[in-house]
Structure 1
Amino acid sequence: MSENRTHGLRRGARIAGIGAAAAVAIGLFSTGAANADTFVPLPDGQKAAPSGTVTITRTGEHAIISPSLAANGAGRVVWVTGNAVAEIAETPEGTVGPNNGPANGDGSNNSSTHGASQLSTGYIVGCQVNIADNAITAGLSGGISLSDASVGGSIGVNLGPGEVKFVQIDYKDVLKPGTYSVEYQDAQIQLQGCAGYAQARAYTTVEIIGDHYSKTTLYGQPFSIG
């Protein structure tokens, strides 16, 4: 099998080492007299496709949550860290082409069948919505591509009550069988417009093209972002 690894996020988020140990406690890190950052450790996870040709593993995931510097009550910031690995036993070689989603953007429901199989990872963010397994497809408002990220590595998300969005952190094209990974550290997501409670949870998706099309998604544990 070949070994394929990303070398960093497209907008400057730092790379985490593979197998980084998950934190074991929730703590507060002082950022000033009026604010504190909340550290949220998150469990590892694994999911295999029924065919056995794809196995997804996520390790070392955690989040650091802080109030928005705007201090308007409707914004907050979360820094996320994790390592997503996909072991892929079978896939057509494929040829990378344009995305087939609306206006050549990401496909609906976080699909991006653009001529090659793909590993994609990011977060589902909801405002005043319980992102449980039985509600994960309700009210989805499409994907946010990496073009929405700033040069400093921050991804801005505007959410109103009841809205849910996919926030893609990074992806890897899969052109042949092998082991692929997406590693990210302190990738920043800025949430604005949500005056109520907000939740997030990680997703990692492997989409295999061809006559035996499959889509396998590993979801993380939901966590509050204030």
Structure 2
Amino acid sequence: MTNYRTAAVRVAGAGAVAAVAMGLFSTGAADADTFVPLPDGQKLGPGVTVSRTGEHAIVSPSLAANGAGRVVWVSGNAVADVTATPEGEVGPFNGPANEPGSNNSSTHGASQLNTGYIVGCQVSISDEAISAELAGGLGLTLPFGGSEVVPDGAFEGAIGLDLGPGEVKFVQIEIKDITEPGIYSVEYQDVEIAIQGCAGYAQARAYTVVEIIGDNYSKTSLYGMPFSIG
């Protein structure tokens, strides 16, 4: 069986362009891994261009073979090209200031790039669902819209999710502080997400959020294409 069990993260340049397709590594095998290439994306925001390239996923039935589990390995490259941000100094988190331009947001003293995945069980995570259920954008470190943020640390092993019907959770791959203008990149390869408890269909999609601090606070969110995890 193909070994995709190693999770690793490294900072690097843009990855290869991926076309939308789906195929099996082992044609005819009931438990074959499924390779899912995913399209690139880009979004312009105040003082930043957010992009994602080279994204793909490898979906496999769970080794538990209980019908409620599956495993996906995700890879991609998230980049923030920041042209305008106040020079930040990373410090403790502060609560919302409620001042003009603050968007009632907390900050830890620096702008930030945050990337990961939204995973849902028997619930739509389409653009319409995100607009309706997650109005205002993704929270960077706190649960948002009744969902749960799973802390990073995937680089030491698999991320395990207990996901019931109708639940959505956010799997945080990496956060990178932005202390001055420049290009910030997070490349991740074969990060393993193991899902248990979801007897119905499951979906996932990438998210990348860039938060720019300052008097004119902004949050730019780029979502990837939803894909099935079986």
- TM-score exceeds 0.5: yes
Give 1:177's aligned residue.
181
Q: How many residues align?
A: 203
- Deviation, 1:220, is 0.5
Amino acid at match of 1:13: A
Question: 1:16-31 residue pairs with structure 2 within 5 A?
Answer: 18-22=14-18, 25-30=21-26
TM norm structure 2: 0.80
The residue aligned with 2:150 is 144
Runs of 4+ in 1 over 6 A off after TM superposition: none
Quickly say closer, same or farther: Cα 1:32–1:26, change in 2 above 3 A.
closer
Match of 1:146, SS state, is coil
Q: 1:35 to 1:206 in 2, by over 3 A?
A: same
Asked if the contact 1:61/1:80 (under 8 Å) is kept, the reply is yes
AA aligned to 1:157 is L
> Among residues 194, 216, 225, which one is paired with 1:221 in the alignment?
225
Question: Partners of 1:130 and 1:115 in 2: how far apart?
Answer: 35
- 1:130: Cα distance to partner? 0.8
Q: Deviations over 1:46-98 (max 9, x none)?
A: 0001x3x1110111111100000011111100001111111111111222223
Equivalent of residue 213 in structure 2, options 198, 201, 209: 209
- 3-state SS of the aligned residue for 2:55? strand
- SS of the residue corresponding to residue 171 of structure 1 reads strand
Residue 159 (1) aligns with residue 153 (2): no
Give matches, 1:54-203, under 5 Å: 54-99=48-93, 113-136=107-130, 137=133, 139-147=145-153, 149=154, 151-152=156-157, 154-203=158-207
Q: Is the 8 A contact 2:61 2:69 kept in 1?
A: yes
Larger mean Cα displacement after TM superposition, 23-32 or 53-62? 23-32
Is the 8 Å Cα contact of residues 121 and 201 (structure 2) preserved in structure 1?
Answer: yes
Cα 1:79/1:45, change in 2 over 3 Å: same
Aligned residues: percent identity? 73
Alpha-carbon distance in 2 for matches of 1:193, 1:201: 19
- What amino acid is aligned across from residue 188 of structure 1 in structure 2? E
* Letter matched to residue 24 of structure 2: L
What SS class does the counterpart of residue 128 from structure 2 fall into? helix
CA offsets per residue over residues 175-212 of structure 1, 9 Å max, x none? 00001111011111111111110110000000011211
Give yes or no for contact 2:21–2:36 (8 Å, CA) kept in 1: yes
Aligned-pair Cα RMSD in Å: 2.4
- Relative to 1, partners in 2 of residues 1:150 and 1:57: Cα closer, same or farther, differing over 3 Å? closer
Aligned to 1:35: 31
Task: Give the residue type in structure 2 aligned to 1:175.
Answer: T
Q: Distance in 1 between matches of 2:50 and 2:152?
A: 22
Q: 1:13 aligns with which of 8, 16, 32?
A: 8
In 1: Cα distance, 2:48 partner to 2:42 partner: 11
Call closer, same or farther: CA 1:86–1:28 in 2, change over 3 Å: same
Maintained 8 Å contact 1:29/1:38: yes
Contact 1:46 1:56 in 2 (8 A): yes
